Amino acid sequence: MPYFLLRLDEVSSYKIKLKGKDPQVLEGQSLTAIEALQRLQVKRLEDVVAVRLNGRICDVNVALDGEAELEPVYVDSPEGLEILRHSTSHVMAMAVKELFPGVKVTIGPAIEDGFYYDFDYERPFKEEDLPLIEEKMAEIIKANYPFERKEVSKEEAMRLFEEAGEKYKLELLQEIEDEKVSLYTQGTFTDLCRGPHIPSTGKIKAFKLTKVAGAYWRGDERREMLSRIYGVAFPNKKELRAYLQRLEEARKRNHVRLGPQLEIFNTYEEIGAGMVVWHPKGAMLRYILEDFEIKEHLKRGYELVRGPQLLKTELWKRSGHFENYRENMYFTVIDEQSYGIKPMNCLAHMMIYRSKIRSYRDLPKRYFELGTVHRHERSGVLHGLLRVREFTQDDAHIICTPEQLNQEIKGVLDFVKDVMGIFGFEYDLEISTRPEKSIGSDEDWDNATQALIKAMEDNNLPYDINEGDGAFYGPKIDVKLRDALGRKWQCATIQCDFTLPERFDLFYIGKDGEKHRPAMIHRVILGAIERFIGILIEHYAGAFPVWLAPVQAILLTVTDRHVSYGEKVLNQLKEADIRLESDFRNEKLGLKVREAQLMKIPYMLIIGDKEVEAQGVTPRLRTGENLPLMSVEAFIERVKQDCKERR
């Protein structure tokens, strides 16, 4: 039977208020939340996995105590899904414990779309283990074990886990200050957990284990390497199937696979982890993006600047980076002088500002740099282009008067809107507030945060608050892109900073002839060029629009006798600045077309007898559609129109 907390007083009537309804009185003894919902004939009772009792989410079997505001939590709600997934992770842990004697369990949280659990076993788990674990999980679900909650003393919990040899649970318990802790049991498995959980294992209707990976205990490279098993869970099989289809589509779009296949980039163990090598097509793609960015910034009144890769360590101490960010930095010594390799571009930009006395008439100053930076990322988080150790940011710093701050922030928000529209991205916004590890006064942080909020509200932009995730020197607006599959990616950010101008004694001469302290905005639009290209590869599935494609067209001859005319067309297109390749091999046309389609080239220009006779080309789209024969000039105009309209 489920475990209930005993009450000191037994009540015989309960005043229940359901959301949106008048309060009702129920008679009885030891009434639980689920019993109250049954008697109140709440709809979809079979889909209720928890309740919100007086504002707190609890198990459905929580005992009521006289008067309560009660709301059912359904399995398809955000809270219900999280509870379902966390409960499924407990079922997976039970299955693993039964199948692999001696395994030790650690933690198993719910994550977006699913869950994971980390295990310590004599060998790493393999993909081949997953079907066996799934089969055991299905048995546990069919058995419909109840999730039983029990509160015990911390000492009793430590005794239980010590007897079980669960050293990781003991470590977690040692960090808990409360005298009592809660345990959840289903079947043969007991776990240290706050809960809540679904009523029983039979509530799990659709799940799938997806992959295995390595993970350090507590994310610490100095600690034990564990085996992490990932899975997904949904309220029904239809949603699971839809998710797995999206997962398969994501696999096809995976930039780590497509990047080398399309000859865009690669990484090499001989060079080093987190260091990207750009092949010719990738270097061209970067050039197109960077050229686009420079022009867009110049249109908006930014000035191009450039800072060095190495700056004296004393400067990083002055900025606060050494104290608050040095674990992410690289350092070197030259002529007995310590230098830091820059992880950010702001210091050089502030030195440029300080190079002469500025008047309020000179402001705002908008300094833009495509700045290459280096950050020490842990090897376990490095991934393709999305997490690297060397990358280039489209970094800018706007130094302005406090009165100009609102307009400048709104200007950046408009910039983000324009650029994301070009690439077809929708996005969400959130404001990240002061982290625990930070510099600056409370007043400066409050002013900076309010400046961001006001700009968002002036533009009627919805946003969420992300508590404690700001930069160490100021709060920020984070832009979360949504790609073609609806996945979210962090790219653009807008940070408001009153602290570094103070530390570097930046000032301007105001209308009154006195010195005044400026504000500073740190901002990126695309973010890291590497990361953005990785996102673009997956967003477009490698099929870049014509304006962005490294190769816009490829010439394909039918036979050797068409090569002479093909070379003439090749020169015409090069003169018109069309980015193209040619395939004049003596191979079957079908083979050439298939290879060009695999490289996702927008246009294939077929050259055979009729093209030579008409002195034209027949374009074929990578989708397989054939366009009518046209003149070379007409094709050039088509490509230029594609580029003009960013398609």
**What distance, in Å, lies between the first and last C-alpha atoms of the chain?**
63
251: left (phi over 0), alpha (psi -120 to 50) or beta: alpha
Q: Is the peptide bond before 196 cis (omega within 30 degrees of 0)?
A: yes
Q: 475: cis peptide before it, omega within 30°? A: no
Q: Rounded to the nearest 5 degrees, what angle is found at the Cα of 345, between the Cα atoms of 342 and 347? A: 90
- Cα–Cα dist 585/573, whole Å: 19
Find all residues with CB under 8 Å of 35, minimum gap 6, and list them: 28
CA distance 110 to 282: 37
Q: Is-contact 308 344, C-beta < 8 A?
A: no
H or E element, residue 519: strand 519-528
Distance CA 269, CA 382 (A): 13
Counting beta carbons within 10 angstroms of the beta carbon of residue 360, is it exposed (0 to 12), middle (13 to 18) or buried (19 or more)?
middle
Q: How far apart are CA 3 and CA 367, in angstroms?
A: 63
Measure the CA–CA gap between 35 and 38, rounded to whole angstroms.
5
User: What is the helix (H) or strand (E) element at residue 265, kind and residue range?
Assistant: strand 265-266
Q: How far is CA 627 from CA 74, 584, 617, in A?
A: 53, 21, 10
Instruction: Compute the distance between CA of residue 85 and CA of residue 94 in angstroms, rounded to an integer.
Output: 14
Phi and psi dihedrals of 420, rounded to 5? -65, -30
Tell me the β-bridge partners of 620: 604, 626
Q: Using DSSP bridges, classify how beta strands 553-557 and 580-583 pair: parallel, antiparallel or unpaired.
A: parallel
Task: Centre a 10 Å sphere on the Cβ of residue 642 and count the other Cβ atoms it contains.
Answer: 17
User: How far is it, in rounded angstroms, from Cα 530 to Cα 392?
Assistant: 7
Query: Cβ contacts of residue 189 below 8 Å, gap of 6+?
Result: 90, 93, 94, 97
CB 466 within 8 A of CB 499: no
Task: Write the CB contacts of 314 (distance below 8 Å, at least 6 apart in sequence).
Answer: 338
H helices within 265-309, ranges in order?
280-299
Residues belonging to the active site: 346, 375, 393, 395, 397, 476, 522
Fill in the amino acid letter for 619: P
Is-contact 173 161, C-beta < 8 A? yes
Structure tokens at 530: 């590497």
Question: Burial of 4 by CB count in 10 Å (0-12 exposed, 13-18 middle, 19+ buried)?
Answer: middle
